[in-house]
Amino acid sequence: MKILITGGNGFVGQNLDCFFQKHSQHSIVCAARSPQSTSSGFLSLDLDSDFNISAQLADVDVIVHCAARVHLMQDNASNPLAEYRRVNTTGTIELARQAADAGVRRFIFISTIKVNGESTPCDIPFQAAVARPPEDPYALSKYEAEQGLLALAKESGMEVVIIRPPLVYGLGVKANFNSMMNCVKKGLPLPLGAIENRRSLVYVGNLVDLIVTCLDHPGAVNRTLLVSDDEDVSTTQLLKKIADAMGRKSRLLPIPSKYLLLLTKVLGKAAVGERLCSSLHVDISETKSCLQWTPPYTLDEALKLTVRSKK
What are the residues facing 264 on neighbouring strands? none
Which residue segment(s) compose the domain that 124 sits in?
2-164
Give the residue, 65 or 44, on which the prediction is more confident. 65
Residues 188 and 245 in one domain: yes
Residues 191 and 152 in one domain: no
Residues 155 and 31 in one domain: yes
Residues 189 and 160 in one domain: no
pLDDT, position 73: 55
Question: How many Å separate Cα 173 from the centre of its chain?
Answer: 12
Residue 38 lies in a domain: yes
Of 138, 169, 203, 297, which residue is the catalytic one?
138
Q: Which of these, 68, 42, 39, 38, lies nearest to 53 by C-alpha position?
A: 42
138: domain CATH number? 3.40.50.720
Band of residue 75 on the pLDDT scale cut at 50, 70, 90 = low
Residues 147 and 244 in one domain: no
Residue 75 lies in a domain: yes
DSSP assignments along 137-202, one per residue: HHHHHHHHHHHHHHHHHHHH--EEEEEE-SEEE-TT--HHHHHHHHHHHHT--BS-TT----B-EE
Residues 149 and 185 in one domain: no
Give the residue, 90 or 32, on which the prediction is more confident. 90
Residues 56 and 129 in one domain: yes
Residues 160 and 179 in one domain: no
pLDDT, position 210: 98
Residues 55 and 145 in one domain: yes
Q: Which of these, 142, 143, 161, 150, lies nearest to 213 by C-alpha position?
A: 161
Residue 113 lies in a domain: yes
pLDDT, position 129: 94
Residue 45 lies in a domain: yes
pLDDT, position 72: 65
pLDDT digits (tens, 9 = 90+) for 249-306: 989 999 999 999 998 999 898 888 998 999 999 999 999 999 999 999 999 999 999 9
Residues 133 and 14 in one domain: yes
- Residue 97: is its pLDDT beyond 90? yes
Residue 16 lies in a domain: yes
Residue 260 lies in a domain: yes
Asked which of 53-62, 70-79, 206-215 is least confident by mean pLDDT, the reply is 70-79
- How far apart, in whole angstroms, are the C-alpha atoms of residue 152 and residue 154? 5
259 is catalytic: no
pLDDT digits (tens, 9 = 90+) for 213-250: 999 999 999 999 999 999 999 999 999 999 999 999 98
pLDDT digits (tens, 9 = 90+) for 108-163: 999 999 999 999 987 899 999 998 899 999 999 999 999 999 999 999 999 999 99
pTM above 0.85, yes or no: yes
pLDDT, position 34: 76
Q: How far is CA 131 from CA 126, 141, 143, 151, 188, in A?
A: 10, 16, 12, 19, 40
Please answer whether residues 145 and 69 qualify as being in contact, where contact means their C-beta atoms are separated by less than 8 angstroms.
Answer: no
Number of domains within the chain? 2
Residue 293 lies in a domain: no
Residues 111 and 80 in one domain: yes
- Residue 37: is its pLDDT beyond 60? no
- What's the mean pLDDT when you consider all of the chain? 93
Residues 97 and 193 in one domain: no
- How far apart, in whole angstroms, are the C-alpha atoms of residue 53 and residue 43? 9
pLDDT, position 24: 78
